[in-house]
């Protein structure tokens, strides 16, 4: 099995703004300048024991932001990204320890307060995420090893620690970016072929045969996996969708890990395609598939189906769910790929799903990287590569025109992004 890039909705691709650019932007009426004190998260304490020679730790003050500090929509300028890390930026990670990690094609930097504390160069392995203790996790280019780095010390895990080598597919196709942490402190990682969890010492790999998901019986069929962990519990959910010639043709239903082993997820049909999964802290689960969203109520322990509205376009006759961001109040903001004879790679549309009612928020547009994040107040923000939008009950309203390379939500509800205006990249955050 291999991952399907069209289902990945994570934005992967914010120097310094000069006075002339600022004046030009003001004349265009795009932003309102705001004078603030730029801040980055406070520094934590590293505790990892080294097993290999650590890189030399460096501490570099971050140059101050231009004055006045600028604001684009909900985001305020924090610092120029080029002063923090060279190369093509491709990742932004915000673990619970309060640090901020940046990755590029040339290195990794750990940042807190107003200081770049550590910076690792000559780094080409794949960064997959940061855990709650502040360690960054990377997979070697060969796929035969996964390692953690706290900014000072490396810990390596290979075959002796239960790690199974990954096939030599393109790096970003073999692992879904992001780490999940359950209530027992175990880390979970989804690859293109299986689910892996780490107990602090060893990795346990759950293959399709282990989880109970059936494998495709034709070589022409591939399977994509969707995964989530219920926050604050040790329960994990896993679904699959089978694809042939770029079209979904059903799936293996849904499975869940009850803390000890995998069980059937309780959907009425074991052949349902599951293309997206999410869960909230109350234990409710949402599963997206072909033209439908299934919602599991933890209170009643039942599933309810929500069929997507019919498509008016004669060329696009059905749809498949790409992502399922869910707000704290239970409102779902799904994005659907619109499908026809040409497949599902061309057009998509964002909806609001609340109380069984679907409301289209955007016009039909080409499939591209897009992400929805929620701020500390629960407001939903839609981020594309070119702009930020405020999601309202009936519309997606433009909030700022700006380039967005990568974005993430911090544990405190602040939103962070790398991007900006012009050729350079900067770090921006909500107040």
Q: Given pLDDT bands bounded at 50, 70 and 90, which one contains residue 265?
A: very high
Domains detected in the chain: 207-367 (2.130.10.10)
What pLDDT digit, counting tens, does each position of 90-140 carry? 889 998 888 889 888 888 888 876 676 777 766 678 889 999 888 999 998
What pLDDT digit, counting tens, does each position of 345-362 carry? 888 999 999 988 999 999
Q: State the sign of the Cα–Cα–Cα–Cα dihedral 4, 7, 12, 18.
A: positive
How high does pLDDT run on average in the chain?
A: 80
Q: Which residue has tokens 């770029």?
A: 246
Could you tell me the pTM of the whole model? Answer: 0.81
pLDDT at 294: 95
Q: Given pLDDT bands bounded at 50, 70 and 90, which one contains residue 186?
A: very high
Buried-state track 379-417, b at ≥16 Cβ within 10 A, e below 16: bbbbbbeebbbbbeeeebeebbebbbbbbbbbeeeebbb
Rounded to whole angstroms, how far apart are CA atoms 332 and 284? 12
What pLDDT digit, counting tens, does each position of 388-417 carry? 999 999 899 999 999 999 999 998 899 999
**What are the distances in angstroms from CA 100 to CA 103, 305, 376, 388, 410?**
10, 39, 18, 21, 9
SS3 category, 296: strand
pLDDT at 279: 94
Token pair belonging to 206: 């759950």
Buried-state track 83-110, b at ≥16 Cβ within 10 A, e below 16: bbbeeebbbbbbbebbbbbbbbeebbbb
Rounded to whole angstroms, how far apart are CA atoms 39 and 8? 31
- Whether pLDDT at 62 is above 70: no
Instruction: Compute the average pLDDT of residues 134-163.
Output: 90
pLDDT at 3: 39
pLDDT at 96: 85
Where do the DSSP E strands lie in 13-145? 60-61, 71-72, 75-80, 89-93, 100-104, 107-112, 115-121, 126-130, 136-139
């Amino acid at each position: 099995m291999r991952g399907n890039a069209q289902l990945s909705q994570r934005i992967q691709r914010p120097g310094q703004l000069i006075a002339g650019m600022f004046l030009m932007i003001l004349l265009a009426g795009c932003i309102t300048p705001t004078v603030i004190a730029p801040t980055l998260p406070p520094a934590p304490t590293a505790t990892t024991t080294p097993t290999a020679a650590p890189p030399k730790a460096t501490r570099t003050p971050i140059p101050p932001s231009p004055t006045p500090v600028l604001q684009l929509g909900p985001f305020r300028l924090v610092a120029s990204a080029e002063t923090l890390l060279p190369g093509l930026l491709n990742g932004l990670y915000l673990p619970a320890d309060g640090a901020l990690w940046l990755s590029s094609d040339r290195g990794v930097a750990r940042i807190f307060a107003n200081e770049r504390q550590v910076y690792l160069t000559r780094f080409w392995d794949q960064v997959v995420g940061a855990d709650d203790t502040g360690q960054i996790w990377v997979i070697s280019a060969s796929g035969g090893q996964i390692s953690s780095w706290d900014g000072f010390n490396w810990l390596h895990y290979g075959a002796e620690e239960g790690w199974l080598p990954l096939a030599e597919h393109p790096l970003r196709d073999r692992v879904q970016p992001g780490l999940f942490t359950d209530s027992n402190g175990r880390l979970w990682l989804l690859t293109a072929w299986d689910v892996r969890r780490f107990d602090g010492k060893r990795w346990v790999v759950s293959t399709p045969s282990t989880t109970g998901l059936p494998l495709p019986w034709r070589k022409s069929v591939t399977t994509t996996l969707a995964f989530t962990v219920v926050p604050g519990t040790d329960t994990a959910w896993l679904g699959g969708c089978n694809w042939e010639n770029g079209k979904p043709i059903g799936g293996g239903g849904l499975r869940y890990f009850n803390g000890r082993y995998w069980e059937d997820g309780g959907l009425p049909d074991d052949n349902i395609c599951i293309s997206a999964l999410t869960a909230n802290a109350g234990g409710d689960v949402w599963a997206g598939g072909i033209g439908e969203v299934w919602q599991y109520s933890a209170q009643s322990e039942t599933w309810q189906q929500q069929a997507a509205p019919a498509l008016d376009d004669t060329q696009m006759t059905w749809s498949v769910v790409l992502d399922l961001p869910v707000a704290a109040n239970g409102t779902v903001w799904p994005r659907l790929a619109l499908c026809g004879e040409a497949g599902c790679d061309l057009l998509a549309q964002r909806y609001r799903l609340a109380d069984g009612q679907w409301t289209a928020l955007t016009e039909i547009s080409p499939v591209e990287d897009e992400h929805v994040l929620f701020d500390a107040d629960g407001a939903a923000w839609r981020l594309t590569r070119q702009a930020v939008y405020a999601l309202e009950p009936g519309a997606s309203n433009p909030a700022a025109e700006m380039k967005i390379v990568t974005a993430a939500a911090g544990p405190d509800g602040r939103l962070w992004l790398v991007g900006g205006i012009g050729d350079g990249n900067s770090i921006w955050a909500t107040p």
